[in-house]
Chain A
Amino acid sequence: MSRIFAIGKYLFLESIRDKLFIALMLVSVIIVAGNFAMDFFEQGIQDRIIFDFGSSLASMLGAFLCIYLIVSQIRAQLDSKQAYFILASESSRAHFILGKWLGSLLFTAFNMLIIFGEIFLIIYFNSRIISYISLIYFYIVMLKLSILCSMTALFSVTSSLVVAPSLSVFFYFIGHWGSYIAFALGKSGGGYYAIKTAEFISAYVLPNFKYFTAEHVISENFSGAAAYLAALTAYSLCVNALLLSITALIFRKKDL
C-alpha cells in the first residue's frame, strides 16, 4: 500500500510543478471569476447560471486532465522506458497502475476543488447562500472522473499513445449518449433485438456517465438523494475495482 501511495504522491508533486497545469488552472479560475461581474438576474436563476457554467467547465477540464495525465504517465512512460525505474524496483506492475491512477485522481481532485471552491465563494458573495450543491456535485464529478481514469488506464496499457486517448474520449462520449443510441436505433427502424442489445450494453456493459448529475440531489428529498448518492458511490467503486483489476491483469501478462 505504501508503494502505491509513494507513486501517487510523486505523480501529484510532479504535476503540481508543471507550468502547463498551472497555466490551465489560472485560465479556468479567471473564466469562472467572470461570473462575479455578471449582470443581475433573479437570484435563484443567477446562482443556477453560475453553477451550470462553472461546473460544466470544471467537468470538461477534469476530463482533459484525467486523460492527459494517465496517458502521459502510463503509456508515454512505458514507451520512453521511464516506467522501468519503478518496475525494476520492488513495486509490482499492479502497484504501478494503482499508484498512477491514485496520483492522477488526487491531482484532478485538487484542481476540481479549486474550481468548485471558487463557484461556492461566488455564489456565497452574490447571494449569501451556502451552496451545498457545489460540494455535492464536486463529489459526483470526482466519482465520474475516477471511472474515466480507470478506463484510460486500461486503454493506456492495451493501446498506443495515439489510440489510448482517442478510445477514452470515444467511450466517454458513448457513456453520455448510450441511451440515445438505443433511442436512435428505434427511430431509424432498428429491430427489437438490436434496440434491446443497445439498451443492455449502455446500461450494464459500458460505464454510463449519464448517471453522474446533480439532478436527483436537487429534486428529491433527503432520503431519495442519499439513496441515489449511495448507489452512485457503489457503482463507481465497483466499476473502478473491475476496470483496475482487468488493467492490472492485462499489464501483468504483457511483454514489455
Chain B
Amino acid sequence: MNKITKSNFLKISFLALAAVFYFASCRYLSHKFDSGDEIIRKKASANPIISLSLSMSKELRQVAASYLWLRVDEYFHSAAVRMSENREIIPLIKLVTIFDHSFIEAYLVLAHHLAYHLDKKDMAIEVLNEGIENNLNPPASRLSELYFEAGWINATLLKDTKEAILSLAAGKKYLSDDCDIDNASLALRLLNYLKNSQKDIFDMDTYRKTISDKDIYAKLESLGREAEEQHDGEDGHATDIEGPADEHRYAGQNPWQNPFLSARLTKAAYVYAFMLACFLLSRAIASYVLPRR
C-alpha cells in the first residue's frame, strides 16, 4: 500500500468511526430526551400553552418559568387580596409548571394554596399527582416533598388515612439530601403516627396531643443556637445581619435602607474591582509578552 492510499484509508476509517459513534450517541440521547417529552406531548392537544412550550428549547422554557415565578412571588405577597380570594394566581403558577415540569416549588405552592386557602382539595391532589408523574422518571431530588404534601392533604383535609400512609411511605422512599429536613421529619413523624394509630380517620386534635410542647421548644432552641453560632462566626458589618430569611422584612421598602442589599452591593463592588484589576493586569502582561506588530 503506497503512502497516498494509506493516508486515504486512515481518513476514511476515521470518518466511518465518527459516523458510527455519531449514530450510537444520537440513539442514546434521542431515547433519553424523547421519553421525557412524551409525557408533555400526551397533554398537548388539550392545552395550546403546552404546545407553545413544546416549540421552545428547554433553556428558554426554564427562563420563562423563572420569569413567571418572579411574577407569582410578587402577586402572592401583594396585600391587595386575601389569600382565600386569590384565585388569579392559579393560572400563573400553572403556567410555571407547564413551562418547567421540574419546578417542584411551583407544584407545592399551588397544591398548598388550592387545598388550604381555596378549599379545592381534589384539585390539589391532582396537581401533586401531575408533579409526581412528571418528575418520577428519573426521580427528581426533591420528589419526596410532593409525596409528603399529598400525604398531609390526604390526612388532614381528605381524612383518607390509607392514601396518606401510601403517599408518606413513597415520600420516605425517595428522600434525599436536597429535601427540607424539618418538613421531612414532620412528615415522617406523621407517617409513624398514622401507622400506629388505631383509628381509621385522622384526628388533628389527637395528633396535636402526641407532639409535646417540649419537642417544639427543643427544636426552636436548637435553631436559635445554630443562628447564634452563625452570627458569631461572621465578622465586620456582616454581624449586623441576622440571617438570609430575615431579608423578607425589607421587601417592598426603600432599597437603600435594606442592609442585606447594601452588604451585597459592597461585596459586588469588591468582586468587580478585583476582576477589573485582573483584566488590566492580564492586558498589561499580554502586551508585554506579545507586542503588537
Contact = CB atoms under 8 A, between A and B. Distances in A.
A and B physically associate: yes
Nearest to B26: A204
Contacts of A238: 18-19, 21-22, 25
A63 to B, nearest CB: 11
A211 interface: yes
Given A37-B268, A40-B250, A238-B25, 13 more contacts: A56-B59, A125-B268, A176-B57, A177-B56, A177-B57, A180-B55, A208-B29, A208-B30, A228-B32, A231-B25, A232-B25, A235-B29, A238-B21
Between A40, A184, A220, A235, the greatest number of chain B beta carbons within 10 A of the residue's beta carbon is seen for A40
Nearest to B34: A179
A56 B29 contact: no
A43 to B, nearest CB: 6
B60 interface: yes
A13 interface: yes
Interface in B6-43: 11, 14-15, 18-19, 21-26, 28-30, 32-34, 36-37, 41
B32 A210 contact: no
A219 B134 CA distance: 12
A220 B138 contact: yes
Interface in B23-75: 23-26, 28-30, 32-34, 36-37, 41, 44-45, 51, 54-60, 62-63, 65-66, 69-70, 73
A59 interface: yes
B29 A49 contact: no
Contacts of B62: 52, 56
Interface of B: 11, 14-15, 18-19, 21-26, 28-30, 32-34, 36-37, 41, 44-45, 51, 54-60, 62-63, 65-66, 69-70, 73, 102, 105, 135, 138, 140-141, 244, 247-248, 250-251, 255, 260-261, 264-265, 267-268, 271-272, 275, 286, 290, 292
A45 B100 CA distance: 13
Contacts of B70: 41, 49
Interface residues of A, number: 57
A209 B271 CA distance: 34
A40 B260 contact: yes
Given A49-B66, A180-B54, A242-B19, A219 B140 contact: yes
Interface string A185-221: 0010000000000000001100011110101101111
Contacts, number: 134
A124 to B, nearest CB: 10
Nearest to B25: A235
Contacts of A126: 264
Contacts of B247: 40
Nearest to B274: A121
A172 to B, nearest CB: 10
A36 B271 CA distance: 11
19 contacts: A16-B286, A39-B251, A40-B248, A43-B244, A52-B62, A52-B63, A52-B66, A56-B63, A121-B271, A125-B264, A180-B54, A210-B58, A215-B58, A219-B138, A219-B141, A228-B29, A235-B25, A242-B22, A245-B18
Nearest to A44: B105
A187 B45 contact: yes
Contact of A183 (B15, B30, B41): B41
B69 to A, nearest CB: 7
